Structure formats: structure tokens, C-alpha cells
Amino acid sequence: MSWIYDIKISKKIILIVLVGVLFSLTIGGIGLYFMKEMDKASQRLYHDQLLPIQWLNETRALNLMNDKYLLEIINEPDLNKQKEIKQRLDENVKQSNELFAQYQEKTLSEQEQAIVKVLVDIIPKNREARDHAIQLAMEGNRQGAIDAYRANLNNSVTNTLLRRELGKYREAQANQIQQRVEADFSRSIYTMLGAILLSTVVSFGLGAWMARLISKPVVDMERLMAKAGSGDLTVFGDVQGMDEIGDLTASFNKMVKSQAAMVEHARKAADELAAGSEETAASAAEVSVAVQEVAQNMQNVAEKSERGTEAVLESSEVLLELSSLIQMAKEKAKQASATSHATMDTAEIGKETVKQTVRRMENINQKAEETGKLMNQLVQFSQEIGVITETITNLANQTNLLALNAAIEAARAGEAGRGFAVVAEEVRKLADQSSQGAAEVSALVQKISASTQATVQATNESRKEVEEGVRVVSEAGKALDNILLAVQETEQAIQGIVKLTEDEVASSDRIVSLINTLATVIDSLAIHVQQVAASTEETTASVETIAASAEESSAMAQELRNLVELFNVDSSSKNWSNEEHLIKAKSDHLLWKVRIVNMINGTEMVRPEDVNTHRECALGKWYFDGNNSFKDDKDFIAIDEPHQKVHEYALKAAQAYQVGNHDEARRMLKQLEANSKRVISMINKLMKKV
């Protein structure tokens, strides 16, 4: 039932009225239902019971009248009158048959069906006997008609009795229906009374509950206001819902919070004023002492001014001698500067010579590297020639072997192979020569390779010597660079000395002038010291006035502190429980809705920059605290999304209102209220878990 706290008071009253109307409609509906049921029962009683009883009674009366007409016909001698009576009797018979037929169309019980079956058998016999008696009477046979009437008398009596029995049966059924109708009526009366009593109790209970729902927060607010009025500014109202009372409670909390801040500020201001007054009084005392010391010091200054004048004259004479010495140092520094400049030029020439030597050595080193590369290529070519020579030697050996095989084959062939043997011999000789030439080439190549290897080694050693020479010459160049740099620095230092001596000469002249001025100033100082001594007396009087004012301020600060002490504003949140955090966070959260409503109503100004983020408000700071015990609770997690939207829609509402789009601001307010209800609902769930 937490939703009831969120609806407005006017809607709560309308809800009570609607509940009362609902109960009234319910009671009326129950009464109408029972009235309809009783009407149906009455209709059934009339149509199903009373009409059949009426029909049976009428048929029974008609049968009795027919018996009367039959006796009149028998006793009437006039034939015309007999015909008139017979006509009336036929009309009664017709009417009786129609009524009995209507009765038969009704729903009949088994007992009624049995009686009707007997009647259906008797009626034709009774009609035939009556018609026979009438015919005899109209023929003048009166005795025969009486005998026929007597013979049918039993059937006629039975017919009448059976119709009476049917009527009594229907009467009994009608009585039962009447009893049920009366019972239904009584039940409807009791039901109506019960419904009225229940609606009265429920309406009274609902009204009392609603009245307490409305009045209890008002009473609580009255109690909180009384405490706040007595000085307790730590009170805090629990916002139960989002109705007017919830808004009022949130506004009250804001007011108390603002007043507490004002009182705390006033308390701090009183403390600062008291401390300032005390410091002022202390400072005044110190100033008084300082003024006295100043007066004493002024006297000392006057005495020492005379000594200062004598010291200034002596300083002037010493500075003149110092100026002469500085002039001599200036001339010596110029000579040293010229010597340093010549040394720097010589060092520049030596540096350039070293650079050229380094470039030559680097060229030699480069040529040595190229020679080494060519020698390495020559070694590689020699190795390739050796491989080719080895291949030729192998071919010569194979050729020699082939020639030997050819000679063997030619010897086998005999005379026919003699010419082939000569060719084989020549090939063998040629192979021997090729092998010998290849061996000589291989030996020559080995000598060339050995010489090349020695040349490469000598070239590498020469290149190393060249590199070492390059390194030595480079170091010599660096040494010359350092010498040149030192000479440059020396020249710069000498130039600085020259400039400094020039400045010192000018400064010494200026110092002499300043000392003369100082002598004049000291003379003026003695005069001003006397004036200061007179002013110190006036300052002492002013300091005494300030001390008196400081004492009055201190008394006023103490009085303000006593007044502020009447208020209790200790609202530290360090020791708050989870429930207190939730109560205060709910109130602070609801204030945003109240502020936006006030903004739209024109009673409060809310700028877009006044709307903070969902992490900066009181609820956000508590929510995003890493030590929050609810951080794993699903209801706690569900707060973040609607809480963020509350601040987003508050910002959009403020922006829309600022540009004059009030309709958009109201739409944003509705979105804010919807998400705010979700946040309040989640907080209420968490409060139930605390």
C-alpha cells in the first residue's frame, strides 16, 4: 500500500468518496438483484401456479354450471328454452375446454400428469352422457334423460373432484413458492443490512485510516516544528510519500538544514569575531609597546645619525682611492685581452690543420678498405681457379682411364683395332699433358693465393694503423678544440673584467655622489625623527581607543555565541545508520522535484548550472560509497538508472524553462516525477530490509 502515500491529498479524498459510492452501488446492486429475483419468483408464482389454479377453478365452476343447465333442460318443457339453455351450456363447455387446454400446456408434475390422464379419459364419456341426456330431454323423454343423468353422475362428480385436487396441488405448490419468496425476501433484507453494516464499518475504517494517514504526518510535522522552534535544528522529517505532505516535509527539511547552516555560520562568525577581538586587543597592546620602542629607537637613530655623517665622509675618501686602483686594473685587463685574442687565432689555425690531417687519414683509411676488398675478391677468384683446376685434373684422370680402356679394347680387336690403339695412345698422352698443366696451374694458384692472403693481412694491419692515426689525430683535434674553447672563455672573462672595471669606475663615482646625498639625507633624518617622536604620542592614544573597541567587540561576540549555543546543529553524518541515510537521501532527492515544481510555478529560480549530477547529490554520494552495505542488493542496484534520469530530466526542465519553453518543462517534470516514484519505491523497499 506504499502507493497510497504518493497520491495527492485531494485524490485521497476522492478515493474515499469513490469507495463510498462503490459501496452504495454495491448495496443498490444487491437490492436490485434480490428485487429482480423476487419479481421473477412472483411472475413464476402467478403464471405457473395462480393462473392454472384460476383456470382449474373456472373449469370446475363451468362444469357445475353445466350440470345445472342439464337439469334445467331436463325440467324445461318448452323446446325453445331448452335450445337457449343448451346454447349457453355449449359455450361453457367450449370455454372449459380452452382453459383446460391452457392448463395442459404448463409444465406438469408426474402427479398432475396422472390426474390429467384420468380426466382426459372421463371428459369424453361425461360429454357423451350429457349430450345423450340433453337429446332425450329435448325429445320429451324426461325420465330417460333423468336416468341418463344419474348414470353419469359418478363421472361428473369424479371430474369435479379431480379438478379440485389439481387446484389444491397447485395451491400447495404456490404456497411453497410463496414461502421461498418470503425466505428470499428475508435473506435479501439481512444481506442488505449486512452490506450496509459492512460498508459503514469499512467506510468508517477507511476514513479513519485515511484521516490518520493525512493527520499523522501533520502531527509529526507539528512536533518537529516545535523541536525546531525550541532550538533543535537536528530534527529531520521522514518523507512517507510524494504527496503534498511529502513535499511539505522535504521543504521543512530543507528549511531546517538552511537554518542550521545559518546558525553554524553565525557560530563560526561569533568565534572568529571573538578571536579577532582578542587578537586586536593583543595587537593593540603589542602596538603600544612597539610605539614606545619606536620612540626609543628614534632617539637612538638621532644619536647615530651624527655618527653616520662622520662615517660617510670617511667612506667618500676611501672610495676615491678605490676608483684609482680600479682604473689601473682596467688597463691590465685590456692588455690580457689582446694576448688572449692572438692565442685564439693561433689555436684556430692549428684546429684547421688537424681537420685537414683527419680528412687525409680518413681518405687513406677508405683506400685501404677498398684495397682489402679487392684482395679478398682476388683470393676468392684464386679459390675458384683452384676448383676449376681440380676439375680439369679429374677430367684428365678420367680421360687417361678411358684411353687405357680403349687400348685394351684395341688390343683385343687385333689388327683391326690397331688404328684405334694409336688414337687411344694420343688421347692418353694428351690427358697426361692436361693433368700436368692442371697441376702446374694449381701450384701457381696456390702461390698467388698465399701472396694474396699475405697482402690482405698487410693491408688490414695498415688499415688498423691508419685508423689508430685517425683516432690520435681526432684526439689532437679535440684537444685543440678544448684549448680554443678555454682561450675563448679566457678572452670573454677578460672582456668581462674590462667591462666590470669600467662599471666599477662609474659605480665608484656614483657611490661618492650617493654618499654625499646620504649625508644630506642623514641630516634630514634627524629632523624627521623628532617629528616621528611627536607622532608616536598620538599613535599611543589611538591604540588605547582601539583596545577599548576590541573589548566591546569581544563582549558582543560572547553574547552572540551564547545566543547561538541555544541551537543544536550537530548534524554530522559520520555515525548515521543505513536507515538515517535512506531517510535523508529520500528527502534530499524529493527536494529536486519540489524545486522544479516551484520553478515552473514561478516561486523559485533554478538555473541549469544549479542542477548537479546523480553522483554529487546526497543520495548519489551515499550510493557510490564503496563501503555501502547494500551494494549487492538488487533493489539498491535498480536505483541507479531512474536516479540518473531524475537529474537528467531536472536539467532538461531547467534548460527548457530558461529559454521560455514552459510546456516542455512540464513534460520533463512528468518524466522526473515518474522516475522519482521509482527511486522512492526502491528506497522504501530498502528501508523495509534495514
Q: Quote the CA–CA distance of 586 and 572 in Å, as a whole number.
A: 18
- Its CATH class, for the domain covering 574-689, is mainly alpha
Q: Does domain 2-210 have CATH number 1.20.120.1730?
A: yes
Average pLDDT, the chain: 75
pLDDT band at 414 (very low <50, low <70, confident <90, very high): confident
pLDDT band at 317 (very low <50, low <70, confident <90, very high): low
pTM, whole model, 2 decimals?
0.38
Please report the pLDDT score of residue 420 as a whole number. 65
pLDDT band at 150 (very low <50, low <70, confident <90, very high): confident
* pLDDT tens by residue, 560-604: 666 656 666 655 555 567 777 777 777 777 777 788 888 988 888
Q: Most confidently modeled of 440-449, 460-469, 630-639?
A: 630-639
pLDDT band at 288 (very low <50, low <70, confident <90, very high): low
Report the range of poorest mean pLDDT among 274-278, 412-416, 671-675: 274-278
Asked whether the predicted pLDDT for residue 139 surpasses 80, the reply is yes
Asked whether the predicted pLDDT for residue 471 surpasses 80, the reply is no
Q: Quote the CA–CA distance of 198 and 118 in Å, as a whole number.
A: 57
Burial class (CB in 10 A: 0-12, 13-18, 19+), 268: exposed
Residue type, 242: M
Query: In the Cβ-directed half-sphere of 477, how many Cα atoms lie within 13 Å?
Result: 15
Report the range of poorest mean pLDDT among 1-10, 403-412, 480-489, 603-612: 1-10
Those residues with Cβ within 8 angstroms of residue 156's Cβ, 6 or more apart along the chain or in another chain: 63, 67, 126, 130
pLDDT band at 429 (very low <50, low <70, confident <90, very high): confident
Report the range of poorest mean pLDDT among 28-32, 263-267, 495-499: 495-499
Phi, psi torsion values for 673, nearest 5 degrees: -65, -40
pLDDT band at 321 (very low <50, low <70, confident <90, very high): low
* pLDDT tens by residue, 156-175: 888 888 888 888 888 888 88
Q: Which three cell numbers stand for residue 286?
A: 603589542
Pick the CATH number of 307-543 from 3.40.50.150, 1.10.10.10, 1.10.150.80, 1.10.287.950: 1.10.287.950
Please report the pLDDT score of residue 174 as a whole number. 80
Q: What is the mean pLDDT of residues 323-347?
A: 65
For the chain, helix, strand, coil in percent to 5 are 90, 0, 10
- DSSP secondary structure letter of residue 414: G
Report whether 56 contacts 103 (CB < 8 A). yes
Q: Quote the CA–CA distance of 404 and 274 in Å, as a whole number.
A: 137
Please report the pLDDT score of residue 641 as a whole number. 92
Please report the pLDDT score of residue 653 as a whole number. 92
Q: What is the mean pLDDT of residues 618-641?
A: 83
Terminal-to-terminal C-alpha distance of the chain:
19
Please report the pLDDT score of residue 666 as a whole number. 92
Q: How many residues does the chain have?
A: 690
- DSSP secondary structure letter of residue 569: -
Beta strands in 163-234 (DSSP E): none
Q: For residue 198, what are the CA distances in angstroms to 183, 194, 239, 490?
A: 22, 6, 33, 119
Please report the pLDDT score of residue 440 as a whole number. 75
pLDDT band at 152 (very low <50, low <70, confident <90, very high): confident
Indicate the domain borders of the chain.
2-210, 307-543, 574-689
Please report the pLDDT score of residue 295 as a whole number. 59
CATH fold match for the domains 2-210 and 574-689: yes
* Residue 232: strand, helix, or coil: strand
Q: For residue 524, what are the CA distances in angstroms to 186, 303, 305, 531?
A: 129, 13, 10, 11
- DSSP secondary structure letter of residue 604: S
Please report the pLDDT score of residue 377 as a whole number. 73
The proportion of the chain whose per-residue pLDDT surpasses 90, expressed as a percent, equals: 6
Asked whether the predicted pLDDT for residue 525 surpasses 60, the reply is no
pLDDT band at 3 (very low <50, low <70, confident <90, very high): low
Asked whether the predicted pLDDT for residue 91 surpasses 90, the reply is yes
